[in-house]
C-alpha cells in the first residue's frame, strides 16, 4: 500500500541504515528459558509502542525501522489503529490527529467536535478523511520534551499493512482503543480487524473495550493471535460495561474466558506513593499466571517520571519487572525498546556479588551523590554497596585546620548554612569565586558538624528532576580521617582524594593541605604499600608535582571542562606529573543542542602516551545526556567504554555503572547483541534534514603547555588565627546585604525551576 508523496522517507531510511552499519550483525542470544518466571518460561517480550517513539515521532517510518535496528531482534511492533473515512486502518498514537501529525496546517478548517467515550472532544479526526486525503499529512513528534528535529523528515502516515511490508517485524501488536467511537461513525473495527488479519499476521490484539474484545474472540479462537484485555487507570470506567478498570481487576476469571492475556499500567504491579516512592509489589502477576493469563506492563519510557527508588535508571526499573526473583511480566510496552533489550538480554540473572576492580574503573563523585547528599556517610555507604571501585573525597579545610570531605569549599552550595547561626559569616574571596560565600575555613569542624545539615545536589532541578527528596538533608558529614577509616575495610579498589585551592590555603590560611592529606593517609594506614590504592586528583598541576615529589600515589590531572581539549599537544608535560587525566564527556563526544557531533581522538592520544583516561561526569537524569544515548545512562556508559575505550567513569550513580560492568554480554565480544554496540558519535545528526540541523560547533581549543604548567605552590604562611566570634564582629553591613541578595537570587532560581515543567 503506497501512502503518498513523501520520497524523503526513503532517503532518510537509507541513511539510517548506513549510519548504523557499525552495528554488528545481529546474534540471537541463546537464553536459558527455565530462568524466566514468565507464564511460558520464555524471555519477556519487548513491544515497541509506535516503534522507537522515544526518539522518532510515534508510528513514523524511522521509529518503526529503528526499533528493529537498535533493539532486540525479536522486538514486536505496536500500532494504535485508527480508521479512515473509507475504513482503512492507519497507525497513529492519538485519536486527535492534530496531536500527532501536521494536519492542522494541511486542512486548517478541518476541526470537529465529537463525543469520544462520552467526552466532547475537539480536534481533527481520521473518520473525516479518506486515506487519499491523508497522503499529504505528515507524522510529527507529539511529546514536547522530545526532539522535534525529525519532524522535517516528512514522515508519511503508515497503514497497518505498511508496517508489515516495510519492516517485516517478528511480531505485530494491534491496539484498538475506540471501537465504540468508530461504530458511531458507521465504521466497523471488527470487520477491519478480521480482514486485515487475513492479509498480514497479527500476533497480538489488545483493547480496553470489553464488548469489542469478547465479541471478536470467537473469530480468533483457532488462530495464533493473542487477545489481550487492556486495563486503563483504576478509576476510569470501561466504556461498554461502565465498571471501573479497578473493579474489573477482581474478575480476571471472566477475562480469561475470552483473552489470553492482560496489559496493565506498570503501577498495577509496582504501585507508587504520591511522592513517587515505590510500594511493595502487588500479587497481580502471580494472580494472572495462576489463571493461565499472560500479563504485560505498559507505560515504560526512559524520559517519563518514574519512582525515586530507581535512581533515574530506566534499566533498573525494567529489572524490577522481569528479574526480581519472584515473578516476571510476560512483556513490556515501551517507547525506548533498546533499554528492555539490554535488561532482558544482558542484565538479568547476573551474579551481583562478583567483585572486579578492572577497567573501566567506577569512581564515585561525592559518593553516590545521585541518591544521598554529597560526601555524607550515606552517600559513601551507598557508593560502596553499589559496587564503586573508588570512592572520592574532595578535601576542604575548616577554620580549626581539620581536613573534611565536602563537595564545595562554599558551604552555601551543599549545606544548610544560610539557615544556621553562621548565615552572616559571609565573605568575598575573588581568588575562589566571584560571588560571596560562607567558606569551610570560616567555620570550625564542631560548628559544621553540630549546626549544619547537608543538602542533596539537584543539578537538573530546572527540569523538575530532583534527587531522593525524602533524604534531601540526611546523613552526616565526614572528616578525611573518618572517610579513610570507613574505606579501609571495604571491598574497594581504592580512594580518590581531590584537592583544589592549595595555593590559597598555604598563602592565606597557613595550611599545607598536601601535608595534611599525606599525614591523614599515613595515620589511617594508607601508606605507599597499602592494599587500597590512593589516587590524588587536582586541576592544578602544582599540587600533583608536589605529591610526586613526596609520595608514590597515583596522580590524576583533571582538565577543567572550560578547557575542553582537541589535540593534546601538551601530553609530554602532563606525563611529567600525572598517571591519568580526568576529562569531561564532551571532550570525547562533543555535543550541539543535545546531539553528539563526532568522536574525538583525545582518549587514544592520551592512552598512546601511557596516560589513563577517566571521564566525568555521568548522571542518570536523561536531560543530562545527548539524544544519541536514547535517554538511557547505560547506552552512554557503554559508548564511552566500548566506543571510546575510556579507563574509568566518574559518576553520581555508581550503581548504574557497576551494573553495566557486570552485564553478561560484556564477555561475548564480537558476538554481543547489536543493541550493546556503542552509539556512533554524530550518528543521529545524519538523520536530520538540513533545514532542521542544529548549529555547528566552533572548534575546540587546543590545550597547550602554558595551560598545563603552573608555578610551584607558595610556601605555607604563618597562621593568622581569627576566632569565630571575632569574625562575626568583623561582619560589615555591605557583606550582609550581599548575603541577602544572594539568598533572594536563590529564590529566583527556585521560582524559575517551578515554572519550567519539562516532563510530560
Ligand atoms: C538454566 O537455568 C536453570 C535455573 O537457573 C539452571 O538450573 C540450569 O542449569 C540452566 N541451564 C543452562 C543450560 O544454563
Ligand atoms: C462539542 O463541542 C463543540 C464546540 O464546543 C460543539 O460545536 C459541538 O456541538 C459539541 N458536540 C457535541 C456532540 O456535544
Ligand atoms: C450512520 O448510518 C446511519 C444509518 O444509515 C445514519 O443515520 C447516520 O447518520 C450515520 N452516521 C454517521 C456519523 O455517518
Ligand atoms: C465477572 O463478570 C461477569 C460478566 O460480566 C459477571 O457475570 C460476574 O458476575 C462477574 N464476577 C464478579 C465476581 O464480579
Ligand atoms: C523505595 O524507597 C523508599 C525510601 O528509600 C523505601 O522506604 C521503600 O521501601 C522503597 N521501596 C521498595 C519497594 O523497595
Ligand atoms: C556469585 O559470585 C560469588 C563471588 O564470586 C560466588 O561466591 C557465588 O557462589 C556466586 N553465586 C552464584 C549463584 O553463582
Ligand atoms: C574567612 O576566612 C578568610 C581567610 O582567613 C578571612 O579573610 C575572612 O575574613 C573570613 N571571613 C569571615 C566572615 O570570617
Ligand atoms: C612514600 O614513599 C616516598 C618515597 O619512597 C616517601 O618519601 C614517603 O614518605 C612515603 N609516604 C608515605 C605516606 O608513607
Ligand atoms: C595553580 O597553583 C599555582 C601555585 O602553585 C598558582 O600560582 C596558580 O594560579 C594555580 N592555577 C590556577 C589555574 O588556579
Ligand atoms: C503536540 C500535542 O498536542 N501534544 C499533546 C498530545 O497529547 C498529549 C496527551 O494528551 C499531550 O500531553 C501533548 O502535549
* Neighbour-count burial for 700-734, b at 16+ CB within 10 Å, e otherwise: beebeeebbebeebeebeeeeeeebeebeeeeeee
Instruction: Kindly state if the Cβ of 514 falls inside 6 Å of ligand 8.
Output: no
417-447 residue pLDDT tens: 999 999 999 999 999 999 999 999 999 999 9
Ligand 1 closest atom vs CA 33: 1
Strands (E), 359-467: 361-364, 390-397, 403-405
Q: What does the pLDDT read at residue 573?
A: 87
* CA nearest ligand 7 atom 11, residue: 427
Ligand 10 atom 4 nearest Cα: 142
pLDDT single digits (tens) 605-625: 899 999 999 999 999 999 999
* Candidate of 409, 432, 542 to mutate for ligand 9, largest count of ligand atoms within 8 Å of Cβ: 542
| Ligand 9, pocket-test mutation among 711, 712, 714, most atoms within 8 A of CB | 711
Distance of alpha carbon 667 from alpha carbon 361, whole angstroms:
17
Over the stretch 457-490, which tens digit does the pLDDT of each residue have? 999 999 999 999 999 999 999 999 999 999 998 9
Q: Give residue 694's pLDDT band: very low, low, confident or very high (50, 70, 90).
A: confident
Evaluate if residue 400 carries a pLDDT over 70: yes
Nearest protein Cα to ligand 4, atom 4: 254
Of the candidates 41, 623, 603, the one whose C-alpha atom is nearest the C-alpha of residue 305 is 623
Across all residues in the chain, what is the average pLDDT? Answer: 89
What's the rounded mean pLDDT across residues 523-533? 74
Low-confidence winner among 62-71, 360-369, 682-691 (lowest mean pLDDT): 682-691
Ligand 8 pocket residue status of 518, Cβ below 6 Å: yes
> Among 1-5, 128-132, 624-628, which is the least confidently predicted range?
1-5
Query: What pLDDT does 727 receive?
Result: 42
Pairing relationship of beta strands 478-479 and 403-405 according to DSSP bridges? antiparallel
Residues 265-293: what's their mean pLDDT?
Answer: 98
pTM above 0.95, yes or no: no
**550 CA to centre of ligand 8 in angstroms:** 6
DSSP track, 46-61: EEEETTTTTTSPTT-H
Using most ligand atoms within 8 A of CB, pick from 32, 349, 351, 661 the residue to mutate for ligand 6.
351
- Higher confidence at residue 676 or residue 722? 676
User: Is 3.90.1150.10 the CATH number for 45-347?
Assistant: no
- What is the pLDDT, as a whole number, of residue 691? 84
Protein residue with its CA nearest to atom 5 in ligand 1 = 35
Does the pLDDT value for residue 735 go beyond 50?
A: no
* Ligand 1 atom 13: residue of nearest CA: 32
Beta carbons of 681 and 598 less than 8 angstroms apart: yes
Ligand 1 site-directed mutation target among 29, 30, 33, 35, most atoms within 8 Å of CB:
35
- Ligand (nearest to CA of 325): 1
Q: Whose CA is nearest to atom 10 of ligand 4?
A: 251
Does 45-347 match 361-410+476-708 in CATH topology?
yes
pLDDT of residue 187: 98
Angle at 678 between CA 592 and CA 562, to 5 degrees: 35
Is 247 near ligand 4, meaning CB less than 6 Å away?
A: no
Q: How many angstroms does the Cα of residue 239 sit away from the middle of ligand 3?
A: 21
Kindly give the distance from the C-alpha atom of residue 186 to the centroid of ligand 3, in angstroms, as a whole number: 6
Tell me what the mean pLDDT of segment 117-121 comes to.
93
Q: Is 512 in the pocket of ligand 9 (CB under 6 A)?
A: no
Cis peptide preceding 617, ω within 30 of 0: yes
Dist. CA 729–CA 398, nearest whole Å:
19
Three-state SS across 663-722? CHHHHHHHHCCHHHCCCCCCCHHHHCCHHHCCCCCCCCCCECHHHHCCCCCCCCCCCCCC
> Grid coordinates standing for 204?
497480538
Residue 527's pLDDT is what?
A: 66
Give the closest residue to 196 by CA, choosing from 237, 164, 154. 164
CATH architecture classification, 361-410+476-708: Alpha-Beta Barrel (3.20)
Q: Ligand 2 pocket check: which of 113, 121, 125 to mutate, most ligand atoms within 8 Å of Cβ?
A: 113
Q: Of 388, 339, 393, 392, give the one whose Cα is nearest residue 360.
A: 388
The whole-number pLDDT of residue 27 equals 41
- pLDDT score at 528: 55
Mind giving me the DSSP string for 356-387? ---SSEEEEBTTBTTTS-TTBHHHHHHHHHTT
Residue 705 alpha carbon to ligand 9 centre in Å: 14
Ligand 6, atom 5, lies closest to the CA of 354
**CA pair distance 153, 158, nearest whole angstrom:** 14
The residue extents of the domains of the chain are 45-347, 361-410+476-708, 734-759
pLDDT at position 710 is 86
pLDDT at 719: 67
H-helix or E-strand containing 13?
A: helix 8-19
Cβ pair 138, 151 in contact under 8 A: yes
Q: Of all helices (H) and strands (E), which one includes residue 79? A: strand 76-83
- Closest-approaching ligand to the CA atom of 442: 7
What distance in angstroms lies between residue 651's CA and the mean position of ligand 9's atoms? Answer: 26
- Of 434, 710, 702, which is closest to residue 563 (Cα–Cα)? 702
**Is the pLDDT assigned to residue 218 strictly greater than 90?**
yes
8 A C-beta contact, residue 692 and residue 151? yes
**Angle of the 314-322 helix axis to the 654-662 helix axis, nearest 10:** 60
Q: Measuring from each residue's beta carbon to the nearest atom of ligand 7, which residues come in under 6 Å? A: 425, 427, 439, 441-442, 508-509, 722, 727
- The residue contributing the CA closest to ligand 6 atom 14 is 351
Q: Which three cell numbers stand for residue 64?
A: 518503526
pLDDT digits 0-9 by tens, 64-85: 999 999 999 999 999 999 999 9
State the pLDDT at residue 34. 57
Please report the DSSP string for 146-179 in residue order.
S--TTGGG-EEPEEHHHHHHHH--S-EEEE---H
For the chain, what's the residue count? 760
Residue 360's Cα: distance from chain center in Å? 19
Decide: 25 in ligand 1 pocket, CB within 6 A: no
Question: Which ligand is in closest contact with the Cα of 518?
Answer: 8
Q: Which of 122, 124, 127, 181 to mutate to test the pocket of ligand 2 (most atoms within 8 A of CB)?
A: 122
pLDDT higher than threshold 90 for residue 531: no
**522 alpha carbon, closest ligand:** 8
120 close to ligand 2 (CB < 6 Angstrom): yes
What was the pLDDT predicted at 568?
55
Cell triple for 738: 550581599
Distance 104 CA to ligand 7 centre (A): 63
| Number of Cβ atoms within 10 Å of the Cβ of 501 | 22
Q: Identify the residue whose C-alpha is closest to ligand 7 atom 13.
A: 425
35 lines ligand 1 (CB under 6 A): yes
Q: Can you point out the beta strands (E) in 554-706?
A: 554-558, 580-584, 591-592, 595-596, 612-618, 648-651
CA of 740 relative to ligand 9 center, distance in Å: 31
Query: Does the C-beta of 721 come closer than 6 Å to ligand 10?
Result: no
Condensed to tens digits (0 to 9), the pLDDT of residues 640-656 reads 999 999 999 999 999 99
pLDDT category at 529 given cuts 50, 70, 90 is low
Q: What percent of the chain has pLDDT over 70?
A: 88
Where does the pLDDT of residue 238 fall: very low under 50, low under 70, confident under 90, or very high at 90 and above? very high
Grid cell for residue 658: 557497576
Protein residue with its CA nearest to atom 10 in ligand 3: 186
Which ligand is closest to the CA of 409, given by its number? 7
The C-alpha cell of 253 is what? 476469571
Question: Looking at the predicted structure, is the pLDDT value of residue 15 above 60?
Answer: no
Amino acid at each position: 500500500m503506497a501512502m503518498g508523496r513523501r520520497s524523503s522517507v526513503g532517503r532518510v531510511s537509507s541513511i539510517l541504515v548506513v549510519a548504523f552499519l557499525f552495528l554488528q550483525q545481529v546474534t540471537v542470544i541463546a537464553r536459558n528459558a527455565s530462568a524466566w518466571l514468565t507464564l511460558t518460561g520464555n524471555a519477556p517480550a519487548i513491544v515497541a509502542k509506535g516503534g522507537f517513539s522515544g526518539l522518532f515521532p510515534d508510528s513514523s517510518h524511522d521509529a518503526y525501522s529503528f526499533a528493529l535496528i537498535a533493539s532486540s531482534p525479536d522486538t514486536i511492533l505496536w500500532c494504535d489503529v485508527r480508521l479512515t473515512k473509507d475504513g482503512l486502518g492507519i497507525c497513529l498514537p492519538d485519536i486527535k490527529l492534530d496531536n500527532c501529525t501536521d494536519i492542522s496546517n494541511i486542512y486548517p478548517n478541518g476541526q470537529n467536535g465529537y463525543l469520544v467515550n462520552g467526552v466532547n472532544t475537539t480536534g481533527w479526526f481520521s473518520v473525516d478523511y479518506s486515506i487519499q486525503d491523508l497522503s499529504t499529512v505528515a507524522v510529527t513528534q507529539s511529546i514536547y520534551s522530545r526532539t522535534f528535529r525529525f519532524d522535517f523528515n516528512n514522515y508519511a502516515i503508515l497503514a497497518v499493512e505498511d508496517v508489515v511490508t516495510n519492516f517485516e517485524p517478528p511480531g505485530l501488536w494491534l491496539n484498538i482503543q475506540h471501537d465504540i467511537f468508530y461504530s458511531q461513525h458507521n465504521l466497523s473495527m471488527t470487520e477491519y480487524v478480521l480482514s486485515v488479519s487475513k492479509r498480514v499476521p497479527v500476533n497480538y490484539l489488545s483493547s480496553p473495550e470489553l464488548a469489542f474484545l469478547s465479541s471478536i474472540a470467537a473469530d480468533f479462537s483457532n488462530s495464533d493471535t493473542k487477545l489481550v484485555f487492556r486495563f486503563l487507570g483504576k478509576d476510569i470506567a470501561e466504556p461498554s460495561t461502565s465498571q471501573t478498570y479497578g473493579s474489573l481487576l477482581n474478575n480476571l476469571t471472566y477475562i480469561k474466558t475470552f483473552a489470553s492475556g492482560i496489559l496493565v499500567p506498570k503501577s498495577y504491579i509496582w504501585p507508587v506513593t504520591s511522592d513517587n516512592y515505590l510500594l511493595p509489589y502487588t500479587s497481580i502477576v502471580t494472580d494472572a499466571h495462576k489463571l493461565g493469563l499472560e500479563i504485560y506492563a505498559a507505560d515504560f519510557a526512559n524520559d517519563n517520571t518514574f519512582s525515586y527508588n530507581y535512581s533515574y535508571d530506566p534499566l533498573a526499573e525494567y529489572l524490577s519487572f522481569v528479574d526480581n526473583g519472584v515473578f516476571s511480566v510476560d512483556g513490556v510496552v515501551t517507547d525506548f525498546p533498546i533499554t528492555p533489550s539490554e535488561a532482558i538480554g544482558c542484565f538479568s540473572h547476573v551474579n551481583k556479588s562478583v567483585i572486579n576492580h578492572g577497567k573501566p574503573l567506577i569512581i564515585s563523585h561525592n559518593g553516590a551523590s545521585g541518591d544521598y547528599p554529597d560526601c555524607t556517610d550515606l552517600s559513601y555507604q551507598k557508593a560502596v554497596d553499589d559496587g564503586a571501585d573508588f570512592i572520592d573525597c574532595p578535601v576542604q579545610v575548616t577554620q580549626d585546620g581539620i581536613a573534611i570531605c565536602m563537595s564545595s569549599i562554599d558551604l552555601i552550595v551543599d549545606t544548610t548554612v544560610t539557615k544556621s547561626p553562621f548565615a552572616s559569616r559571609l565573605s568575598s574571596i575573588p581568588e575562589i569565586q566571584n560571588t560571596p560565600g560562607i567558606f569551610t575555613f570560616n567555620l570550625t569542624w564542631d560548628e559544621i558538624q553540630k549546626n549544619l545539615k547537608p543538602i542533596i545536589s539537584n543539578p537538573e532541578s530546572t527540569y523538575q528532576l530532583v534527587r531522593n527528596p525524602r533524604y534531601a538533608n540526611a546523613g552526616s558529614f565526614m572528616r578525611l580521617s573518618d572517610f579513610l577509616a570507613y574505606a579501609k575495610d571495604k571491598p574497594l579498589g581504592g580512594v580518590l582524594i581531590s584537592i583544589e585551592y592549595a595555593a590559597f590555603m598555604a598563602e592565606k590560611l597557613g595550611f599545607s593541605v598536601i601535608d595534611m592529606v599525606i599525614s591523614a593517609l599515613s595515620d589511617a594506614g594508607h601508606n605507599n604499600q597499602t592494599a587500597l590504592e590512593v589516587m590524588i586528583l587536582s586541576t592544578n598541576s602544582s599540587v600533583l608535582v608536589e605529591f610526586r615529589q613526596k609520595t608514590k600515589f597515583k596522580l590524576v590531572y583533571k582538565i577543567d571542562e572550560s578547557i575542553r581539549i582537541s589535540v593534546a599537544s601538551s601530553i609530554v608535560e602532563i606525563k611529567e606529573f600525572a598517571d591519568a587525566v580526568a576529562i569531561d564527556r564532551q571532550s570525547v563526544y562533543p555535543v550541539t543542542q543535545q546531539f553528539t557531533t563526532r568522536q574525538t581522538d583525545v582518549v587514544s592520544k592520551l592512552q598512546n602516551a601511557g596516560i589513563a583516561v577517566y571521564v566525568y561526569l555521568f548522571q542518570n537524569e536523561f536531560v543530562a545526556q545527548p539524544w544519541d544515548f536514547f535517554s538511557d545512562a547505560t547506552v552512554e556508559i557503554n559508548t564511552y567504554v566500548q566506543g571510546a575505550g575510556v579507563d574509568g567513569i566518574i559518576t553520581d550513580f555508581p550503581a548504574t555503572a557497576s551494573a553495566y560492568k557486570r552485564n553478561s554480554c560484556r564477555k561475548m565480544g564480537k558476538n554481543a547483541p547489536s543493541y550493546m554496540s556503542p552509539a556512533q558519535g554524530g550518528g543521529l545528526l545524519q538523520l536530520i534534514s538540513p533545514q532542521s540541523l542544529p548549529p555547528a560547533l566552533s572548534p575546540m581549543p587546543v590545550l597547550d603547555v602554558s595551560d598545563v604548567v603552573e608555578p610551584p605552590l607558595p610556601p605555607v604562611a604563618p597562621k593568622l588565627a581569627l576566632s569565630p566570634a571575632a569574625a562575626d564582629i568583623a561582619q560589615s553591613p555591605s557583606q550582609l546585604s550581599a548575603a541577602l541578595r544572594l539568598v533572594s537570587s536563590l529564590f529566583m532560581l527556585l521560582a524559575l525551576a517551578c515554572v519550567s515543567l519539562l516532563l510530560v
